[in-house]
Structure 1
Amino acid sequence: MRSAAARLAGLLFAGAVLVLAQRAQAQVRLDVPYVPTPPSVVEGMLNLADVRPGERVVDLGCGDGRVVVSAASRFGARGLGVDIDPQRIREARANAVRAGVEERVEFRLGDLFEVDLSDADVLAIYLLDDVNLRLRPTILRQMRPGTRVVSHAFGMGNWRPDRHETIDGNSVYLWIVPADVEGRWHMERSGRGVELSLRQYFSELSGTATVDGRAVPLHEGRVRGAEVEFAFELDAGTVERFRGRVDGGRIVAQADDDPFWEAERAP
């Protein structure tokens, strides 16, 4: 028979293990409670984001991985899911194996605010309004122009979505990450110089164009990914629309714009 001392030592050891487990569980502080996204909404999110084969889909707060697994199995994408809850990561990896896509997806235990988004083509989120707002500066800083953000239920504050759909009673929002065009640009159109001063508010664009020493306001300005459009009064009484694409420090007219124009960012 075990001695009383041995039994006591065993009880103390078991108690210590229990305390450590409880502490570990307490350390998993969830920014967002786990609520699974309905399958119809998952498919709707991926359709709205126009996920294409080979693209990289990142899901922050991935839960059981259903968005990333669906992106890989139904759309031919690659994916990364990140969650702070170890149980959710175990479920996600098991779901990837069941779907036969484990070689195209990765599930990582970690903090969603520490994920590098620079190689994401699509970011999928089902978080909360305040979490989205905390994440928004990282999205605008790291994600490339033209990449897409799709959110179930929650918005991005005063960054208005490019599209909004309702799927089985659930709101789904889409944003196209805009290029950064705010600042001064020198524009050439048929040998004529125009100075542009652009002000940007997410995807909305305003500012002035100085033509022959005359400053006129820009109208209907918008940035959608790397595409830019605006209009202004080039000559008195003649408003012209310009459409171009950002290419580094230049904006180049779309092929069907006639006459041709381009702009270069001022130092």
Structure 2
Amino acid sequence: MEKKKIYWWRTLASFILVLFTMPLGHALMILMEKFMQPEAVHYAGFMMGFAGLVMVIIGVFVKGDTRQTLWGLLGGLLFWTGWVEFLFLYYARRYGVQPEIENGVVVTKPEYLIMPASFGLWMMVMTMYIFSTRNGCDFITWIQEKLFGARKNKIVMQPMTHHTSIITFMELNMILWAFYLLLMFCYDKNFLGDHHPVTYLVGIGCFIGSLFMLRRQLRIAAWGANIRMAVATVIVFWTPVEILGRINFFHEFWVEPEKYSTLLLCILAAFILLLAYFWLKASKRKRAGS
């Protein structure tokens, strides 16, 4: 039986591209909160989310799978930061939600404390995906097979209209949303707590799961599909990183961007170079195919 080819470089490049968005996104939010007036932060956040939505829509009309994926990825990141996180921040501040403090240190910001209230909305969207569409998500496909069995092809007969930018956008936001909810549940002392054994098991399970996902990603030849797989792989991988940072196993340098500006600028430069590399690769393939 012929072995599938392994694509080390495109997997590594895709993984690092998406991975670098995590500390950069955190650092951006912290810098905006520290150096901008609260009112300016909310206006900037709203414009950021709007810009992200526009970018995702632009991605629907551009040509090329890789380009559409990049538009969806970048637009999705701005949308999540601006219209999800900053809007939670706005309403947490407006109604005086207090942060969770331990030993005089803020361990959970107010906006994340109210995020679990969106669980029902997340389930609403997931219900639509599970009952109304055939898609490439292994997790959703597994649920459909377990729920519907032999009737799966009758209940979910066809996929949605395929717009790669929208697919990337929805994948990013739904997985981010899911794992934020998972982490907030684990950290909540009314349920588990950040030092609970189950929380540690969640982190270990996500790390092991990300390795299996990375193994699959290594066999994806298309650049765009590899980036989309990297979105899921990185978010699952980042979950144990968040848990380890929460229990002070290591110092999260991205929460103090003004102290680690050189390191973050290097990460930003590497991110921009990788983004340019992907864009140029897509342009060359487009010219070669024309």
TM-score range, shorter chain: under 0.3
Could you state the TM-score of these two structures normalised by the residue count of structure 2?
0.20
Could you state the TM-score of these two structures normalised by the residue count of structure 1?
0.22
Relative to its length, the structure with more strand (as a share) is: 1
Which has more radius of gyration? 1
Relative to its length, the structure with more helix (as a share) is: 2
| Structure with higher RCO (Cα < 8 A, 6+ apart) | 2
